[in-house]
Amino acid sequence: MRWMLVASTLIYALPIIVYVILFRKASILFEVIMGAFSFLFYGPTYLNILNIYSICRIDDISWGTKGLEGGSDKNAGLKDSWKLIKYVHVGKYVLWNIIASAVLLSLGSDYIPRFFVTITMVIIMAITLSVKIIIAIIYMISYKLSSCKCCERDKFV
């Protein structure tokens, strides 16, 4: 299991190696290592805080309307219904997360269920990472090939 965890983390190295080989720019390694800490630090903010704030302000349409919606009381009923929908949505969000937390924590109290929960999470992480990495490598190779073609065309011209 630990080897799987290490392997799924080391998949990150694959696009970096491909980038270094294709573009001959080793400084990207330093940038990735330095960026990894800030990525880790801000990860929960992006995943939790911004998500929660956006769900809790889903009825807020004040942005981008230049205050046009503020003066009229015509849509007061509509706003109230949006507010109700928002509370229902937030309530569902909280309830589902409480249920998921209770299930995960009760499964995590014993070793064997914890092993299976963790391995499922690692597999999901590895699959999503693999998809991203395969697409990134294909994109890098196609970009490199297209730029090489452009260089050759410029030489002929």
111 in contact with another protein (CB under 8 A): no
Q: What separation, in Å, do the N-terminal and C-terminal C-alpha atoms of the chain show?
A: 57
Nearer to another protein among residue 68 and residue 124 (C-beta): 124
> Which of 12, 13, 51, 95 touches another protein (CB under 8 A)?
51
The number of residues in the chain equals: 157
- Give the span between the Cα atoms of 61 and 68, in whole angstroms: 10
Looking at 16-24, 53-61, 65-73, 141-149, which segment touches another protein (CB under 8 A)?
Answer: 53-61
* Interface size with another protein, residues (CB under 8 A): 40
121 in contact with another protein (CB under 8 A): yes
Sign of the C-alpha dihedral computed for residues 58, 60, 61 and 62 taken in this order: negative
Nearer to another protein among residue 20 and residue 58 (C-beta): 58
- Give the span between the Cα atoms of 95 and 102, in whole angstroms: 11
SS3 content of the chain, % helix, strand, coil (to 5): 80, 0, 20
Stretch 58-97 residues interacting with another protein (CB under 8 A): 60, 87, 90, 93-94, 96-97
Nearer to another protein among residue 26 and residue 36 (C-beta): 36
